[in-house]
Structure 1
Amino acid sequence: MKITGGCHCGAVSYVVATDNLPPSYACHCLDCQTTSGSAFGLHALLPEDALQITGELSDYRYEGAHPASHHRLCAHCHTRIYNTTSAAPGMLVLRAGTLHNSAAIKPIAHIWVKRRQPWLQLAEGTPSWPESPTPEAFAQALQARPV
């Protein structure tokens, strides 16, 4: 299966070098709510070399109270495509909503649920943490995803 995605205007497209949809998680922190303009950010964690991008990207860096991150966006429509973060060296955080097959994404974990919108109900049994989990706990949740 070829996994592809891109920005809103079509100027940026990408191919994910993997056979399956990547494991995705929802982050409910205030930064993700603000930058997504929604109740949470939906992210897929990938190795840095797993994304082949075509098109012009712009970038910005965020070094606030949370781990530092470097965001890449379409240079034309400013759709956020992915970011890297000091919290996950060697990995990139793909915006799962930019996948062409995003309807098939099902979050396998939720982080920063202490900031979750009160009207949002999480699926029972899905791993969740009030803030960021330990790297070990998060890796375990990502590896336990259903096939």
Structure 2
Amino acid sequence: MKLNGACHCGKVVFTVNSKHPYPYNLCYCSICRKTAGSGGFVINLSAEYKTLKVTGAEHITIYHAKIDNKISPAERHFCKHCSANLWLYDARWPDQVHPFAGAIDSELPIPPERTHLMLGSKAHWVDAPIKDGDLQFEQYPSESIAQWHQRLKLEQ
């Protein structure tokens, strides 16, 4: 599925192809919460890095999160004007890029279930929208985005 995305102010526009476009993985980690989700969560999608096409790349800034006093090699791409969270890229997995669902303008498919991860990092005042059938994890699940799509026969 081709995904069309942009920042809030429109200075960065991008497209990318994804075999795994269901926005099901809700992350409550302190990095996602503080850089993009406030008290809520961030949803990562999975896409093919080689298909990423960007207009307005000069308006992007990159943030490397600090994890346990170490700098993460993962690059969180943001618009330097409106601060919109665009995608995450990590050279350890060079074929993948993870656009943030909030930056996608394409109509995304509705997932049949959701995975709530990093609930151990969730702010205590956040009421997570967990429904019957949703999976819940204090940290990261062992099932990848691709495996979740395969298990539910949802690959595009």
- Look up the match of 1:144: 151
Q: How does 1:41-56 map to 2 (within 5 A)?
A: 41-55=42-56, 56=58
CA contact (8 A) 1:110 1:129 kept: yes
CA contact (8 A) 2:17 2:47 kept: no
User: Cα RMSD over matched residues?
Assistant: 2.8
Q: In structure 2, do the counterparts of structure 1 residues 85 and 129 end up closer, same or farther at CA, with 3 Å as the change threshold? A: farther
Cα distance in 2 for residues equivalent to 1:110 and 1:17? 24
- Report deviation, 1:105: 5.0
Match of 1:109 among 85, 102, 115: 115
TM-score w.r.t. length of structure 2: 0.74
- Which shows bigger deviation, 94-103 or 31-40? 94-103
Cα distance in 1 for residues equivalent to 2:139 and 2:88? 19
Is 1:64 aligned to residue 67 of structure 2?
Answer: yes
- Report deviation, 1:22: 1.2
- Report deviation, 1:17: 2.1
Please give the secondary structure, in 2, of the residue aligned with 1:3: strand
- Look up the match of 2:9: 9
CA contact (8 A) 2:16 2:48 kept: no
Give the number of equivalent residue pairs: 143
Q: What amino acid is the match of 2:47?
A: L
Q: In structure 2, do the counterparts of structure 1 residues 102 and 42 end up closer, same or farther at CA, with 3 Å as the change threshold? A: farther
- Look up the match of 2:129: 121
Identity over the aligned pairs, expressed in percent?
22
Q: Deviations over 1:73-105 (max 9, x none)?
A: 12322212111247x623222111111136655
